[in-house]
């Protein structure tokens, strides 16, 4: 039996009030869907031997947080001990993406070659800068930072773990 992989969608950073609500910093691109009432999430915390399955009872956005409550956890004392935990979803619950959109875990490990055939290395990190993502490639040239823009990234083949890029002036 293979064990399913889990992906973080938020971090439980604090409680909010006395009624079991928690403040969550979302790391999901789909917070409205991911944290909607009835959604199932898994809590990973050092106090737990195995992930705790939770069902969202309520959700609202507040400043830079999601304020969430879970069914069966109606008081601050029920949930406070889990501060610092991570909320995750199994890989089977990941959202379908549009064409030319990728999950970071799909990009990590992809081999990068230039449109002239030079091998640069593999993507080992994705920096989310706000304007556009920057893919960190480590290889024989050291570390190369590639902006995820049309002028630079020419082809992404997730199935074959291969990316073709154009090295614009100033990238090396």
The DSSP line for 37-63 is TT-EEEEE-TT-SSPEEEEEEEEEEET
Whether the per-residue pLDDT at 1 is higher than 60: the answer is no
For the domain spanning 6-93, the CATH number is 2.40.30.60
The boundaries of every CATH 2.40.30.60 domain in the chain are 6-93
Strand pairing class (153-157; 162-165)? antiparallel
Confidence label for 169 from pLDDT (cuts 50, 70 and 90): confident
Residues near 112 by Cβ (< 8 Å), separated by ≥ 6?
Answer: 119, 120, 121, 122, 123, 135, 137, 139, 144, 146, 162, 163, 164, 165
The boundaries of every CATH 2.30.30.240 domain in the chain are 104-165
What is the per-residue pLDDT across 4-38, written as a single tens digit (0 to 9) for each? 889 999 999 999 999 999 999 998 888 999 999 99
Whether the per-residue pLDDT at 2 is higher than 70: the answer is no
Q: Which helix (H) or strand (E) holds 34?
A: helix 31-34
Give CA angle at 44 (81, 31), nearest 5°: 100
pTM of the model: 0.74
pLDDT number for residue 3: 76
Confidence label for 172 from pLDDT (cuts 50, 70 and 90): confident
Structural fold of domain 104-165: SH3 type barrels. (2.30.30)
> Three-state DSSP class for 29?
coil
pLDDT number for residue 110: 96
- Token pair, residue 50, equals 């195995």
């Amino acid at each position: 039996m293979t064990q399913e992989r889990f992906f973080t969608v938020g971090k439980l950073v604090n409680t909010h009030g006395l009624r079991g609500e928690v403040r969550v910093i979302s790391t999901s691109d789909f917070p409205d869907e991911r944290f909607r009432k009835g959604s199932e999430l898994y809590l990973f915390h050092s106090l737990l031997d195995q992930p705790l399955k939770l069902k969202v009872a309520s959700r609202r956005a507040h400043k830079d947080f999601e304020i969430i409550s879970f069914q069966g956890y109606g008081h601050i004392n029920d949930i406070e001990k889990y501060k610092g935990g991570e909320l995750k979803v199994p890989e089977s619950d990941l959202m379908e993406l549009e064409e030319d959109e990728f999950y970071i875990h799909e990009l990590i490990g992809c081999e990068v070659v230039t449109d002239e055939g030079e091998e640069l290395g593999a993507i080992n990190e994705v920096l989310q800068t706000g304007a556009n993502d920057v893919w960190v490639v480590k290889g024989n040239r050291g570390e190369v930072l590639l902006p995820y823009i049309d002028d630079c990234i020419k082809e992404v083949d997730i199935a074959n773990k291969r990316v073709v890029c154009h090295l614009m002036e100033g990238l090396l």
